[in-house]
Structure 1
Amino acid sequence: MTQVDEGRSRAAAARLLEAANPDVYRRNPFRVTGVATDAPARRVRQERQRVLNVLDLMPDATVGDQVLPLPSRPAPDEVRAAFDALQRPDQRVIDELFWWWGEPGECGCEPEVHTLHDIAVRAHTEALDLEAAPGSDDPEARSERWVDVADAWADALDAPGFWAHVRHRVTALADRRLGESTVDGLRGAMARALMNPQVLLARKPGNGVLARLLDTWDVDAEVIDNARADAAAPVYEAVEAQLTAVGDLRDDTAPLTAARRALSELPDLARTMEALVPHERFRRSATLRNRISVMLNNCALPIRDSSAKPTVELKQALFEYAIELAVEAEDQRIIRDNLDDLLAAQRFRQAGGSLATSPWDQVNTLIRTRRVDDAIKLLRRMRDTETRPERRAEIESALAQLTQARAVVGGGQPAPWRWMTTLGLFLAAIAAVVYLTDVTWHLDMWLVMAGGAVATLVLTFFVCTTGYRMSIASNPLVGLLTLAIAGYAVWEVQTYGLAPFWMALAGFTIPLEITLPAGLWLAQKWNTR
């Protein structure tokens, strides 16, 4: 085939696809005028003159096809335009495809070829007339009707003489613009053209069933997929537009406005898109579906946690729809974690916690300010309201570490002056050990050292308890007073000799690797009782 022939073939296919819309039968010039599809040019001119003369005399006269009349009487101008269309052979050959072929004549076709074609035309015409008629239709009957249309055209196109008849008509029209390339172009585009009215109707709201019924056509899978994608084109555009609009709102620091718009628009668009082009079958649908999911999640995240029920419900609904629509497994996991965090936060609030910041941020703040006891209480509340095993294990681990550290860092507010009281107590303890073991009881020096070790254990336990750390020991006046008393006691006992004092001090310091951990362990048990 030459380049010119290829151009004619493409032109014929383009004209066929342009004509194939829901009005392809209602505006068919053969139906409007009542002229037979195989009528020669002379016969067409005679009918034109006769019919237009009748309409001039009687504008309300009935004209057109009598087998399947138009739902409403055509206006005289419409009839005149229909006769004009029959004067264009390149358009007439297309219009002949969509109206009766009747009894075979000069074409020499087998009667079955024309019969099957006319059955398909009738089924298609009636289906499209009913789609245009006002009022509801039984969904089951509607589906069966469109299945019948697909089956009827499949039978007609399978007839061996179908395209031989079209070839005969191209020859009979005797136009130099028509030829074998025209037939090839029509044959290549015929399947898509027959589906096109259904595709255009499927674009209307509530007509997703027509998109699904495209699968019943006995044509190549690629043709069906392209038809369904074409039916979804307006929805694709609407999704892209809404994603852009919602994203702009979110970027303009209007999180609640963006969230409300996302929730009101995106899930419905996703459902419409799924009816037309299921995401498991159409890559673009899957991509847009996942983008909707991510956008819903991203609109929920900036919303501050609140006790206000509408805000909580909005955020939860965004996460739930996002999980439902997520295509990528990793995105779904992340969004599910976000929803779980929200639900845990709500349970935490109901248990008396604050949602001004996240619970973990509150724990970190308390630890930084050395309010360890408050941090532990908060962690326990988080643990009691958490239902996810993995998150509960994280909280338990943090609790264990913080409880162990509390014996060292303390559980109350930071107290920079407490060291004076603590030092005073240790000096006083040394003096007491010397006084009791050496001066009063006259015990052996090794027992003086043992007394120092026991005193270390007891004092370590005491100063690491929460009660001590929350007591008036942090008051600088108390610290100074304690140091003064301890200093006086040390001065007094050293007058009895320095040896007992140094032995007691050795008893305090040498076994520290044993007595200090033991005291800390006892304090930890005491604090967590």
Structure 2
Amino acid sequence: MSQATTPADAALDTALEPLTGRAFYRNNIFRITGLAPDAPAAQVRRRREEAALAARLGTPFAAPAGDLPLDPPPDPDDLRGAFESLRDPVIRFVHEMLWLWDEERPGDTRHEQHNAAIRAHCAALESADPGAAANADSWAEALRAWAGSLEDEQVWERAYRRARELDDPRLTIGTVRKLRYRLPAHIVSATVSLAVRDAEDGDEAGADRYLELLDDSPFDDDLVDRMLRDAVRGREERIGTACREAENMAGSDPKRSLAAGEELISRTRLDLLVVETLLGRGDSTTDAVYDAVAVATNLCAVSYWKATSEHSATMPLLRAALERARDTGTIELIKGNIEVIEPDAVIEEASGVLKSVYGLCQAGKVDAARDRLMAWRGRTRDETLRRQLSTVLADPRAIRGPVARAPRDLAPFGIGTTTMGMRDFANDGSYIATRWFLLFIPIVPLASYHQDARFVYGKVPLRPAARTWRTLVLLALLYLFVDLVDGDGAWHWLAVAVAAGSYLLTRFLRVNAWVRIAESR
């Protein structure tokens, strides 16, 4: 992340920018040119001329690079860029601080920890799989050595002396102090960038290994946390922008808000994953970005539903919003919307089932329609169809026939019809009520209706218990009628039983014939 607030900061940004991730050492100008960090101007000039000649002749330039040679070797453009960068004292100084040092005098060991850090770090970064568990020891050694080197006063005494030796007004002691402050963060951020890469590739375990290495390293925990938050800040901003664009679409063009919500889920999926992987679930920033996406997605879903009444299309977006919601209030809001929309969505998805009994419903034979769907559910082996049938049968309003005019209650002297037994109340205040035949008390249930205080919306099936009661009452009336016509009652129960059996057998055969036809479609 750029920290440029002064010319010195800007110069350090330029010097540090190419030294990150797996290119941390590959882009070091001393490694590219094969020069020692303290090489004199004459040696730099001679090496530059050798590289230029090799480029003109089209021959490879074999620059010695000690025990860390580049593979593959640098191309002519890399060499030209490296030699050009050597002219900038700040770039030269920064790259020198991040490369192998020679001992300044015989017996001097101050450079050893610095070089050990670079060798271990370079080996870990440039291995075939830097995040592999097999490289854990190299990473631990590199981070430990770097932390120790950056805390070593002798290292910085050498740095101040080198700055004075370079003797360029662009490289001041203040610049060295700024670099001392920034280098720990830069070392940590290089590791963080690899964790980000693994998170983007879906390798959560690899990303976690980098984070564990940083947690176990001597680097300050607050510094590591700051680098992690710096790494996700751009993603936070992208998520916020995507949420605002989706919310604006939901407000300006509700019929397009479903597509806007789906695009929001797609646009933010990777950024949310990276934020959660780096900061962890339960972190305030993680929860905030997830909740922001949940709120915006919920708004898109509800706006689309209000504009189109397409329940089934709305539900996947609401479920996606609920998966991302973290705040209790947001979770309750989305759950409330799901409770309102989901029942109609389920019925909408099962509309093919209802079409199969459409003719019966239109004729007002809703009980017969329910019988057929019950039989079909018991016979089918298709689990999806069985689930749809169960959904329809569980909803007291799903199987519904039209009503030409609202039934009127009329019971003079306690004989007639009345509506009673309100049940299955809906959120809109409507309910199911049953119309009964009265003989001073309710005797026979005639039909059930979906209605409210003002309107009757349709005829719906009677409850199974009510239908059983109605059948028993009718059989009892049949028995009384036969007994009234013929006083000898010896065979009356047999007649009633034959009539009931004939009716049930006929209904069974009719229903099963219908199910066979429905199954074959």
Shorter-chain TM-score range: 0.5 to 0.7
Cα drift, residue 322 of structure 1: 3.2
Task: Give the match for residue 449 of structure 1.
Answer: none
The worse-fitting range, judged by mean Cα deviation, of 186-195 and 243-252 is 243-252
Task: Give the match for residue 361 of structure 2.
Answer: none
CA distance in 2, matches of 1:374, 1:304: 34
Q: Is the 8 A contact 2:12 2:91 kept in 1?
A: no
CA distance in 1, matches of 2:82, 2:50: 14
Cα drift, residue 223 of structure 1: 2.7
CA distance in 2, matches of 1:55, 1:469: 100
Q: 1:267 to 1:12 in 2, by over 3 A?
A: closer
Cα drift, residue 34 of structure 1: 1.0
Q: 1:284 to 1:262 in 2, by over 3 A?
A: same
Q: Is the 8 A contact 1:243 1:292 kept in 2?
A: yes
| Runs of 5+ consecutive residues of structure 2 not aligned to the other structure | 347-389, 401-405, 411-416, 448-468, 474-521
Task: Give the match for residue 298 of structure 1.
Answer: 299
Indicate which of 277, 280, 297 corresponds to 2:279: 277
1:274 is matched by which residue type in structure 2? E
Task: Give the match for residue 152 of structure 2.
Answer: 159
1:191 and 2:180 aligned: no
- Aligned to 1:376, the other structure's residue is in SS state strand
Q: 1:296 to 1:18 in 2, by over 3 A?
A: same
- Aligned to 2:69, the other structure's residue is in SS state coil
1:141 and 2:125 aligned: no
1:47 and 2:47 aligned: yes
Q: 1:372 to 1:183 in 2, by over 3 A?
A: farther
1:326 and 2:330 aligned: no
Counterparts of residues 404-419 of structure 1 (less than 5 Å): none
Cα drift, residue 341 of structure 1: 5.2
Task: Give the match for residue 513 of structure 2.
Answer: none
Q: Is the 8 A contact 2:315 2:341 kept in 1?
A: yes
Q: 1:170 to 1:222 in 2, by over 3 A?
A: same
- Aligned to 2:26, the other structure's residue is in SS state coil
Task: Give the match for residue 353 of structure 1.
Answer: 396
Share of identical aligned residues, percent? 24
The worse-fitting range, judged by mean Cα deviation, of 167-176 and 81-90 is 81-90
Task: Give the match for residue 376 of structure 1.
Answer: 422
Q: 1:247 to 1:90 in 2, by over 3 A?
A: same
Counterparts of residues 7-26 of structure 1 (less than 5 Å): 10-11=9-10, 13-22=12-21, 23-26=23-26
Task: Give the match for residue 290 of structure 2.
Answer: 289
The higher-RCO structure (CA 8 Å, 6+ apart) is 1
Cα drift, residue 169 of structure 1: 1.0
2:278 is matched by which residue type in structure 1? L
- Aligned to 1:162, the other structure's residue is in SS state helix
Q: Which has the higher helix share?
A: 1
Count of residue pairs the alignment pairs up: 377
Task: Give the match for residue 120 of structure 1.
Answer: 117
Q: Deviations over 1:229-265 (max 9, x none)?
A: 2322343243234323433443422354345434544
Counterparts of residues 96-245 of structure 1 (less than 5 Å): 96-105=96-105, 110-111=108-109, 113-130=110-127, 139-141=132-134, 145-204=138-197, 205-206=200-201, 209=207, 212=211, 214-245=214-245
Q: Is the 8 A contact 2:15 2:90 kept in 1?
A: no
Q: Is the 8 A contact 1:255 1:299 kept in 2?
A: yes
Q: 1:193 to 1:412 in 2, by over 3 A?
A: same
CA distance in 2, matches of 1:84, 1:268: 38
CA distance in 2, matches of 1:266, 1:85: 39
Counterparts of residues 390-409 of structure 1 (less than 5 Å): none
Cα drift, residue 115 of structure 1: 1.2
1:80 is matched by which residue type in structure 2? R
1:140 is matched by which residue type in structure 2? A
- Aligned to 2:396, the other structure's residue is in SS state coil
2:263 is matched by which residue type in structure 1? R
CA distance in 2, matches of 1:266, 1:375: 51
Task: Give the match for residue 35 of structure 2.
Answer: 35
Q: 1:290 to 1:159 in 2, by over 3 A?
A: same
CA distance in 1, matches of 2:419, 2:257: 36
The worse-fitting range, judged by mean Cα deviation, of 146-155 and 27-36 is 146-155
Q: 1:260 to 1:193 in 2, by over 3 A?
A: closer
1:68 is matched by which residue type in structure 2? L
Q: Is the 8 A contact 1:120 1:153 kept in 2?
A: yes
CA distance in 1, matches of 2:190, 2:165: 29
Q: Is the 8 A contact 1:9 1:186 kept in 2?
A: no
Q: Is the 8 A contact 1:290 1:326 kept in 2?
A: yes
1:85 and 2:128 aligned: no
- Aligned to 1:82, the other structure's residue is in SS state helix
CA distance in 1, matches of 2:445, 2:134: 85
Q: 1:14 to 1:54 in 2, by over 3 A?
A: closer
Q: Is the 8 A contact 1:8 1:181 kept in 2?
A: no
Counterparts of residues 491-502 of structure 1 (less than 5 Å): none
CA distance in 2, matches of 1:179, 1:89: 10
Q: 1:172 to 1:242 in 2, by over 3 A?
A: same
Q: Is the 8 A contact 2:90 2:171 kept in 1?
A: yes
Task: Give the match for residue 336 of structure 1.
Answer: 335
TM-score, length-scaled by structure 1: 0.58
1:123 is matched by which residue type in structure 2? A
Cα drift, residue 96 of structure 1: 0.2
Q: Deviations over 1:284-329 (max 9, x none)?
A: 4332211112233334445659xx9x974x6554444433432222
The worse-fitting range, judged by mean Cα deviation, of 50-59 and 178-187 is 50-59
Q: Is the 8 A contact 1:463 1:469 kept in 2?
A: no
2:274 is matched by which residue type in structure 1? T
Cα drift, residue 53 of structure 1: 4.0
